């Protein structure tokens, strides 16, 4: 019997990355801009003794996905896919096991 680790079936809101994707997101502490396959995130932190601004640029890969979380978009460390893609991949995997490959 072959076993596998149960997959995470959490669904996320997200967007597919294309070379033409232009997007802006902003809240009280974060501003994000996507253009030319670069996600620029600027975080603002205001404390009693200091103010801090941090900016990060992440190069994006066309065809991958960004996940929308409570505080903006993230480029997930683990690859994500659509539900349809996951079902198709699992069916192909099952078929290959059935054939003994």
pLDDT for the residue numbered 4: 76
d(CA 17, CA 58): 13
How far is residue 59's CA from residue 78's CA, in Å, rounded to a whole number? Answer: 16
Contacts 24+ apart (CB under 8 A), 96-101: 97/2
d(CA 22, CA 15): 11
Domain extents in the chain? 13-98
**pLDDT tens sequence for the chain (101 residues):** 777 788 788 889 999 999 999 999 999 999 999 999 999 999 999 999 999 999 999 999 999 999 999 999 999 988 898 889 989 988 998 888 877 65
Q: What is the pLDDT of residue 79?
A: 86
100 conformational bin, left if phi > 0, alpha if psi -120 to 50, beta if neither: left
Please state, in angstroms and rounded to a whole number, the distance separating the CA atoms of residues 75 and 89: 22
**57 in Cβ contact with 50 (< 8 Å):** no
pLDDT at 100: 67
């Amino acid at each position: 019997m072959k076993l596998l680790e149960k997959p995470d079936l959490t669904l996320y809101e997200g967007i597919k990355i294309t070379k033409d994707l232009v997007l802006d997101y902003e809240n009280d502490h974060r501003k994000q801009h996507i253009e030319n396959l670069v996600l620029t995130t600027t975080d603002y932190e205001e404390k009693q003794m200091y103010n801090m601004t941090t900016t990060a640029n992440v190069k994006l890969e066309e065809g991958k996905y960004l996940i929308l979380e409570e505080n903006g978009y993230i480029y997930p460390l683990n690859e994500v896919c659509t539900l349809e893609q996951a079902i198709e991949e699992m069916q192909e995997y099952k078929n290959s096991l059935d054939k003994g490959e």
